[in-house]
Amino acid sequence: MTRTKIYAHRGDKGNYPENTLLSFRKAVEEGVDGIELDVHLTKDNQLVIIHDETLERTTNGSGFVKNYTLSELQQFQANTADLQDFSDELHIPTLREVLELLKPYPTELNIELKTNEFTYEGIERLVLETVKRYGKGRKVVYSSFHLPSLIRIKAMDDSALIAWLVLQKIPHPVDYIETFNLEAIHLHYAIFLEDITYWKEVLPQLRLWTVNDEQALKKLITLCPAAIITDLPDIALKMQNPKNDSLQCNNSLSKPYLL
């Protein structure tokens, strides 16, 4: 039976500090199908996992990520006062550290390249090289709002799986999949729910983000997109329990669009 996969958005973000080793570890221990994370480039060309271009929202540091070296960044920790027992898992991790953490698990990985504000020259090659070295055998999907980054990834490695992040309705989504050889479109779930039939032809190529409303989770699980990306992976996994017959995937809405 086809099943919608559950991806943990920045790890188990609903329960632990986002984009930390702690958040990723907890998510894989819960049994998620995939992890989504965000990658930036430091002043000394190291790949670090953090969502924002700046440090203030999620850490006890300040300023732009790109203005720090890796060693300087790793003096900072996630903004939290009640998880000090896990302090060794609360620093800003590198992509290598996350790949090393995932080694015992079959978890898929969605790496979002945060190149829509700063293009970070050379980041695409560095990401590919790091995954090749430390993530061998793992399914990795590279996503970005910045389509040129995905085109560069594909030009460097034709076997790489790329997914375009979309925040609006796009004309003829099949054409985008075909033209840019996309493995998937990562679409905001509210745009999808506004007009489900519009997207039905590419439904098996959609990963929907970021679904934190429980009613929306229930509905989407039954509609069978490729994956749901959520801050609440523990709740989504419980909903998807095989014993819950009312929330089984019904893929009658569409057939896969095949390249």
Active site residues: 9, 51
Distance CA 163, CA 174 (A): 13
Distance of CA 144 to the CA centre of its chain: 10
Beta bridge partners of 54: 64
3-state secondary structure (DSSP) of residue 20? coil
SS3 138: coil
CA angle 31, 164, 62 (to 5 degrees): 75
* CB hemisphere CA count around 90 (13 angstroms): 18
Token pair belonging to 154:
């594909």
Helical residues (DSSP H) of the chain, grouped into ranges:
21-30, 70-73, 95-102, 123-134, 147-156, 173-179, 189-194, 214-223, 233-239
Reduced to 3 states, what is the DSSP secondary structure of residue 56?
A: coil
